Structure 1
Amino acid sequence: MASIFNVSRLQNKIVLITGASGGIGAAAAVLFAKAGSNVILAARRSEGLKQVAAACTAAHQESGVQAGGKFTTVQLDVSDRVAVGKLWDHVPSEFRDVDILVNNAGFVLGVERVGDISESDIEAMFGTNVFGLISVSQLLVNHFKARRAGHVINIGSIAGRESYPGGSIYCATKAAVSAFNGALLREVVNTPIRVTEIQPGLVETKFSVVRFRGDQAAADKVYEGLQPLVAQDVAEEIVWAAARPPHVNLAEILLLPVNQASATLTYREPKKEK
């Protein structure tokens, strides 16, 4: 890992990760821990955060890196703007000089088509995927400007580049993330602040289970016949982007499994006859 990521660049850095209680956020937290960073783990599910914090502690100890290794958890719903505004009230003072923000919190609900989508689902997805990401970014970007340093890493999706049936609202939220990322990149061009969007394709986490409202069988079919990405794959790209030299900014990373070429074009191995 040291030769690939040059961990010295991440040692003692303070990283804030939203949606850190599982999936991509948790995997990224563990990799940052291995690299010697200090991590603020933020998510809605407090029980998940405790487990990830323990995994980070174990990973840091196993790495042998002497730097960093401090972890704190914050129960935070990024769609709650009041809670986001009071974030620092729940973060120990030693963690407040954040160097890297990973906007990972996000989800999709349902596969209903336009005309049949519930208002509550629309509001929930936009509340977290767009408004929440923007609220946390505004808080941290001002902090980065004052420090003349910082890195915003937004987790987008291939769905923000290419829409598909049954995903109108999710695609719209991720298109908004991409547009926001591009605007922010241009707004801070006269500063040392870096801005990155990582756009994964098919990633097998709890993502599809949530989309299908707990139907594990339906979620499994999404990945049948191919080897999808896993949380660790995306986490490695997050840490790779963060570990680049200060003058290097990976503005956009499209990350796909080898048998996926677009949002809707995949190759799947035929089912073997029994």
Structure 2
Amino acid sequence: MISLKNQIILITGASSGIGTACARIFAHEGAKLILAARRLERLQQLADTLAKEFNIEIHSLQLDVRDRIAVESAISTLPAAWSNIDILINNAGLSRGLDKLHEGDFQNWEEMIDTNIKGLLYLTRYVVPGMVSRGGGHVVNIGSIAGHQTYPGGNVYCGTKAAVKAISEGLKQDLLGTPVRVTSVDPGMVETEFSDVRFHGDTERANKVYQGVTPLTADDVADVIFFCVTRSPHVNINEVILMPVDQASATLVNRRT
């Protein structure tokens, strides 16, 4: 098992959900964390809490991954002590709405495509060359069951996660011959802010998504990511699909009412 002590780990979307859970599990192992998110206040609170609890070094980045120039600037201006990123967790992502495609909201489409696909591409493009030149590294992309199975109203979101699946596979092929590893972790139902964001803050509607079901937690997903990044250097976990026991497919869910 690889030790994460003093490894530099960049996590996007770190201010909530799976990103925060990853930050905590890696902090426990003594990693050096670069935490990136749009919400600086929440990010700083998390950084202060983890630094105090685990006595680790943390570098915070207020960053919107949709902004390519901002991503380029953030990576190129990292202090020397933080520039050699060992692990990149492309976690920033979101879903907006459940409209039929022919009734879809253009702004929702743009936000999902720009965050889930282009943001992931920008980080990968600016971070991976350093991994290749240093002869080591690991990229973990957070996909979804939605990238494997489309569901009604999921059209564009499912399309973005199918893109993450294809990009992960393509990146692994492009890195053949280097020691850099690529993993896609694709969860089913996870109770985070995901549904709240999808329904634009309609908490009542969001809560119904998980009604009668025991969903995955952010910690469950972070635990799987931790497993993937700590395998022996010659082992690459290409893809992991994980779902709660109450879920058998993107649409088949057992609800106890």
TM-score by length of 1: 0.91
* Corresponding residue of 1:237: 224
* Corresponding residue of 1:202: 189
1:93 to 73, 80, 84: 80
Q: How far apart in 2 are the matches of 1:166 and 1:37? A: 39
**Do structure 1's residue 14 and structure 2's residue 1 form an aligned pair?**
no
Give the match's secondary structure for 2:103: coil
Question: Could you tell me whether the CA contact under 8 Å between 2:228 and 2:237 is conserved in 1?
Answer: yes
Give the alignment of 1:116-155 within 5 angstroms.
116-155=103-142
* Corresponding residue of 1:104: 91
* Corresponding residue of 1:265: 252
Question: Could you tell me whether the CA contact under 8 Å between 1:178 and 1:197 is conserved in 2?
Answer: yes
Question: Could you tell me whether the CA contact under 8 Å between 1:42 and 1:76 is conserved in 2?
Answer: yes
| Greater than 4 Å deviation, 4+ residue runs | none
For residue 130 of structure 1, report the CA deviation from its aligned partner.
Answer: 0.1
Give the match's secondary structure for 1:9: coil
- Give me the CA root mean square deviation: 1.1
| Deviation readout 1:42-71 (Å, 9 max, x if unpaired) | 01110110121123224414xxxxxxx110
| Deviation readout 1:108-153 (Å, 9 max, x if unpaired) | 0111111111211111110000001001001111111111100000
Match of 1:230, as an amino acid? T
2:21 to 11, 21, 27: 27
2:157 to 158, 161, 170: 170
Q: How far apart in 1 are the matches of 2:52 and 2:198? A: 32
Q: Equivalent pairs: percent with the same residue?
A: 47
Give the match's secondary structure for 1:86: helix
Unaligned regions of 5+ residues in structure 2, if any?
A: none
For residue 75 of structure 1, report the CA deviation from its aligned partner.
Answer: 0.4
Unaligned regions of 5+ residues in structure 1, if any?
A: 1-5, 62-68
* Corresponding residue of 2:46: 52
* Corresponding residue of 1:113: 100
For residue 91 of structure 1, report the CA deviation from its aligned partner.
Answer: 2.7
Q: How far apart in 2 are the matches of 1:44 and 1:21? A: 8
Give the match's secondary structure for 2:112: helix
Give the match's secondary structure for 2:102: coil
Q: How far apart in 2 are the matches of 1:119 and 1:227? A: 33
Number of residue equivalences? 257
* Corresponding residue of 1:72: 59
Q: How far apart in 2 are the matches of 1:90 and 1:223? A: 42
Q: How far apart in 2 are the matches of 1:231 and 1:209? A: 15
* Corresponding residue of 2:204: 217
For residue 248 of structure 1, report the CA deviation from its aligned partner.
Answer: 0.9
Question: Could you tell me whether the CA contact under 8 Å between 1:74 and 1:91 is conserved in 2?
Answer: no
**Do structure 1's residue 43 and structure 2's residue 37 form an aligned pair?**
yes
Q: How far apart in 1 are the matches of 2:213 and 2:60? A: 35
